[in-house]
Structure 1
């Protein structure tokens, strides 16, 4: 077996890292939003107590697992900057902390990540079906879906039927199958409930790849969405893109449901899964982008 590198180790240990941060800093709390199709916990961390509630999530797609260490490192470095009262990616950490409450779910799809990184485990309850859905191959490195062969970013109740018709995928597989109905999968249902419960003011879903930011949805986004996307794009060297012909994603549903800013960020460049040797360069861009997102929040108390 090849030796794991630091990025892979950070991915495997992300939950322990969130717990470490909670022990070290009184302003960090952790919990679980729900469980995956095979019963794995889906952890989150909260940092700050400001009036504007931001949410970031990653690893919605299994083979995009590098977003997990990107988000975990961001949370850790943000916490350290707050504790030391020092600048954070050119921003005042004290100011960001006072204005924002940040909720981060680094790994929405733990079953998909396990498949993409390690293949079938001996205790995988869907092993026989997964082999069939993966066309008999033991190589799952391109697997995007959850353990039931459902693409979690095609699961949200925002013109779900239109997306199913557009995809034309009618059975479980590695990607693009929208399931039996909106929120049929426990991971998507848990994220939707978590969002409703915390009444977020803005959200970012971190994916790979393309170095683009999608900010609109069927004309239902608020005016500030484009402005914020352009600010984040400038900070990271990405492109803010007006996207059409896509439905049922998390940011689509968030905009459709709340009429508030929602963004899909496609980190990095290449073919998924992105190589771990690109991590440092990706993190430099993503940390700047996410810090800029926090700085977009209003300076006055957010509406409740």
Structure 2
């Protein structure tokens, strides 16, 4: 289906043909826009059929697509991310390629079911788990299987952990937008999780440093390396209400000087330590992502 903004960029503006094109591309989302606009169907019908300028049409397209994007971002494994047929194929591949290391009396690999496995991977999208198994497993010949077989294996792991099946197979484009959560839904990350969090760097008592105005930490897979994409996301992440005490900053080396970033927005990576009165982060990486804190 052609994108509405692709139609606009091709040069049609006020013609009836342009209006008809946008109506055709908006039909799948118009009913959502009515909810988005507090039930005012008259206003929505009027807005969805106008094509007075490229800017108006682009803005309209964004508003119509916004509910769909939010719905995609909130998808979890509790919504039925794989099909029973796909999990059955994955079970056969698991028996042939994985069981020898993960099952039996003398195994090399960790268990792939139960709370320890879920706690290691929850509150993260399926993409990181897929990348891990597709680049490191099986241990004796990592990456030897095809992407579709690794997706089948991932589907089987979800089934083996009692997550519900759905009508569709777990496809490549769904992996990055599907979050792995516990059976009772999304929860804060547990203690000892490797995390990424952004906030305002502030001096504390007794030569300590705190991260203030921080949001709930996000899962991280690499503690000492930061990608440009991570820094960009941290820069754009809105402020929160949490405070974390930052530990081990002296261990980061002489090049890291917290004083130089006091009052600035920074990104911290490290191990999360949950405590009843003051959550802490044993920092492994600290980088500035913004100027003065708001």
Could you state the TM-score of these two structures normalised by the residue count of structure 1?
Answer: 0.22
TM-score using structure 2 length: 0.22
Q: Which has the larger radius of gyration?
A: 2
